[in-house]
Chains A and B, each alone.
Chain A
Amino acid sequence: MRHIASQLAAHIDGRLAPALSQQAAEHLRTCERCQAEYGAVKQGMEWMDSLPLIEAPASLWTSIESGLPHHQATRRIPWAWLATAAAAMFAFAAYWLLAPAKVPTWEVARIEDSTQRTSRIAPGQWIETSARSRATIKVGAIGSLDLKPNTRLEVVATQPGEHRVALAHGEIHASISAPPRLFFVDTPSGTAIDLGCEYDLKAADDGSGLLQVSKGWVQFEWNGLESLVPAGASCQIRAHAGPGIPYFDDAPEGLRLALDQGALGAILASSRVRDTLSLWHLLSRVDVDARSRVFDRIVALTPLPGGVSREKVLKLDPATLKRWREDLAWIW
């Protein structure tokens, strides 16, 4: 009997997928242990209802306002200053019209033999670390990028809406805290797209590599082929052929070996419930006969949610595959 303690809050909140919710309700009817846990979780939620919302102190805004940059803090201009301000604005406008547009640069800290040097890097410039050096780039205001030894990387774009680098070879660790799809790493075999995350990315000279995600999600794309890699999972990057099938780092050795070899029978036989991550990705990368076997294996591991049919999955209907992935993500 599989207990449902970890799903109880989602069940009470009505956030479980219909099929899982039904299973949870059925399990609760007969399992005394989970009934007791259910009571405790519900009681905890009721206790939380007794907490009032606390009003922020009125003086807080003044502190925040004083910490804002001046150009954001001086929208209202006293009339007496208008003439001076107009002249200054004219000069400022003339400068912006005549001067080349200013492109944001990023701060770089290079460390070699315990000596640190700080500089700035602009789009179009390269940075390279030796066997004895490493570097940290501050990616605008959204995060940082650590370059391990023997890494070569170009800064491609530093605009607020697009932060992009190109990793020629080496290894980086990215830590990004921003809305999804603002930070991109191009490699010879595809692009890593940040979906709010922390990850390591290795790229060899031949274009092969490895993506390992420690927080959040990363999407890796190459010529329309894409892999979605959650925290705790990795994905091999194949030389000039894009992302492989992602797998959890704790996946059985047999599964990882089978994925390397493309041995479908062994992949299916060695997959656990959580390995539906790999099986879901496999659906769109095999022919229809193999797809049917993959579908059957996923359904044997976890129930099919409402709105997902065998027929539509086998036809690779995008909306159906997305719906199924969102449901499966509960167990990834």
Chain B
Amino acid sequence: MNDREVSREVIEACRAGDRDAFRALYEIHKDRVYSIAFYFFNGNSEIAADVTQQVFLKLMTSIGQFRGDADFSTWLYRMVVNTCVDSARKYKPASEGSLETLAAHDDHEGAYARTQAANSVRAALSTLPPKFRIAVLLRYFDDLSYEQMAEALHCSMGTVASRLSRGHKLLAERLKSMVEGKGRS
């Protein structure tokens, strides 16, 4: 049984106010929601935790409005998008995140190189305009269809495709210039 099937089973119980079911739902989605917020705010774990908390509190207080025939992931990620965008207004521009946070999650062989690469990507990602950044993160952290992403981002599927194309292209360009900059120094 995959995560989504589990979600379908527990959503009904959540709607009935079952606390354990909500905990199960949280466990299924927490890391993806947290990761999106974490990278959206350039590795700031404090803001990522605040965004994740806001998302799940909104989710629990409004899950009574969620109908079983609608798509739960779309609904969840729309909250994630809205909360990230709202929080971006509230917080100052993303600061440099802590490198230790990433290193702590990867202690296998070759960890250093991977951590360095991830930090570079995270830093480059944080320079993208928010609408490209959130689209790229949505594509990466869950297997959403373009239609689901369009609903979560309040735009058409064509716009999703366009933002993903431009976002990934910009990311590659920023990383290329970072690598070239290091090479010269």
Contact = CB atoms under 8 A, between A and B. Distances in A.
Nearest to B158: A330
A97 to B, nearest CB: 20
A interface majority secondary structure: mixed
A160 B173 CA distance: 47
Contact of A72 (B19, B62, B122, B170): B19
A331 B165 CA distance: 15
Contacts of B66: 179
A48 B31 contact: no
A88 interface: no
Interface in B130-185: 136, 139-141, 145-146, 151, 154-158, 160-162, 164-173, 175
Interface in A147-206: 160-161, 177-182, 196-198
Contact of A7 (B32, B117, B161): B161
Interface residues of B, number: 73
Contacts of A52: 102, 105-106, 114, 118
Given A142-B62, A178-B65, A53 B121 contact: no
B2 interface: no
Given A64-B53, A179-B70, A329-B158, A53 B62 contact: no
B99 interface: no
A178 B32 CA distance: 21
B156 A231 contact: yes
Given A52-B105, A61-B23, A177-B82, A197 B154 contact: yes
Given A47-B121, A57-B45, A75 B67 contact: no
Interface string A79-109: 0000000000000000000000000000000
Given A56-B33, A60-B49, A231 B165 contact: no
Interface stretch (A36-44, A283-291, A293-301, A315-323): A36-44
A243 B26 CA distance: 42
B1 to A, nearest CB: 20
Interface stretch (A8-16, A110-118, A249-257, A305-313): A8-16
Interface string B14-55: 000111101100100011111100110000010011001100
13 contacts: A16-B161, A40-B168, A44-B175, A47-B171, A51-B35, A52-B105, A52-B118, A54-B31, A141-B62, A177-B78, A178-B65, A179-B74, A332-B158
